[in-house]
Amino acid sequence: MQQRVDLGNMRHGTELLKRGFAKMQEGGVIMDVVTPEQAHVAEDSGAVSVMALERVPADIRSSGGVARMSHPKLIKEIIETTSIPVMAKARIGHDEEARVLESLGVDMIDESEVLTPADPFFHIPKNDYSIPFVCGCTSLGEAVRRIAEGAAMIRTKGEAGTGNVVSAVKHARLLATEIETTRRSDSNSRENIVDRILGGYRKLEKSSEIGASVETTPFGSLEEVRKEVKSVLNEVSDLGRLPVVTFSAGGIATPADAALMMKHGMDGVFVGSGIFKSSDPTRTAEAVVLATHHFEDSTVVAEACEMVGEAMPGLEIDALEVRMDERGW
């Protein structure tokens, strides 16, 4: 039986605070918003937090170009107009965007593949910050690397801005299967898993013409990183789940989608384009929250589905020119 996240045995005080904030989001819906007015809609509908963006993922996808951190003015306006926590996105590996967001007073930073990555080799050293981070994953290895780097929350990536839940389901199923494989592994197999996960820190070697070898990372030496990875993997084995709150994101467009991901063992959902690209954002927001809270009751989920009008138009994953879920490593 999958256990809940236990905060009683954190290794550091700051780790307890960061994971504690993430746990406060458990069971809820976090909504992407691009205006203070949308933030009010999210708060009134029962969202536990909002993600401040200049464009929802569907618009980022259709516009193309380089997607960066939102403008500080927009983030400040949203912080000032809502009483629920405000998150914001930084590009993968972009320490300075993250520092700006920290100074603005956001409650959590999303190191996000929805924005254009800044560093092709390493993510942000999240333990260096006083506020918590959420990061995406498509697999257990990716999740363990991010937690070892200091992430306080994980979200399965899905494929943002598509209104198509298939990638979110794929990542949730793969994560669950790999967790079960880890639980069944013996000591030798566990070491092999650690070696495979550490391979994600050697991407730079493949770009070197002279055969450069990576011995240090922004997170410490490879030996230090190995110890962190092994520690996180042992927690996963003991708990039968990730040791941090785990949400689902990317392609969740309807109340039924939200309920589906909760039944896949998620602790909550991120919803962006699916709400504010629908025909009635206010009702859709309320319906997604209702279905998330009552995902085990199909009668309530059906009522939530009746509340909404036309969902956002969806995209076929195989036809996408840009796969955001492939960003990050």
Cα–Cα distance measured from residue 193 to residue 229, given in angstroms and rounded to the nearest whole number: 10
Q: Which residues of the chain have pLDDT under 50?
A: 1-2, 7-13
DSSP 123-187: ---GGGSSS-EEEEESSHHHHHHHHHTT-SEEEE---TTS--THHHHHHHHHHHHHHHHHHH--H
Helix, coil or strand: residue 33: strand
Reported pTM: 0.89
Q: Active-site residue among 18, 89, 126, 277?
A: 89
Residue-wise pLDDT tens digits, 115-151: 989 999 999 999 999 999 999 999 999 999 999 999 9
Q: Rounded to 5 degrees, what angle do the CA atoms 81, 98, 27 make? A: 60
Strand partners of residue 110: 89, 134
Give the DSSP H/E element, type plus range, for residue 18: helix 13-24
- Cα→Cα distances 53→12, 17, 254, 288, Å: 31, 25, 21, 20
Other CB atoms within a 10 A radius of the CB of residue 322 amount to 12
The stretches of 199-316 forming alpha helices (DSSP H) are 203-207, 222-239, 255-263, 273-276, 281-293, 298-307
R_g of the chain, CA atoms, integer Å: 19
Amino acid (1-letter code) at residue 5? V
Q: Rounded to 5 degrees, what angle do the CA atoms 195, 197, 199 make? A: 75
CATH class of 13-318: alpha beta
Among candidate residues 169, 118, 180, 128, the one with its CA nearest the CA of residue 149 = 128
Residue-wise pLDDT tens digits, 178-199: 999 999 999 999 999 999 999 9
23 part of the active site? no
List the chain domain ranges.
Answer: 13-318
Do residues 123 and 146 touch, judged by C-beta distance below 8 A?
A: yes
Other CB atoms within a 10 A radius of the CB of residue 99 amount to 15
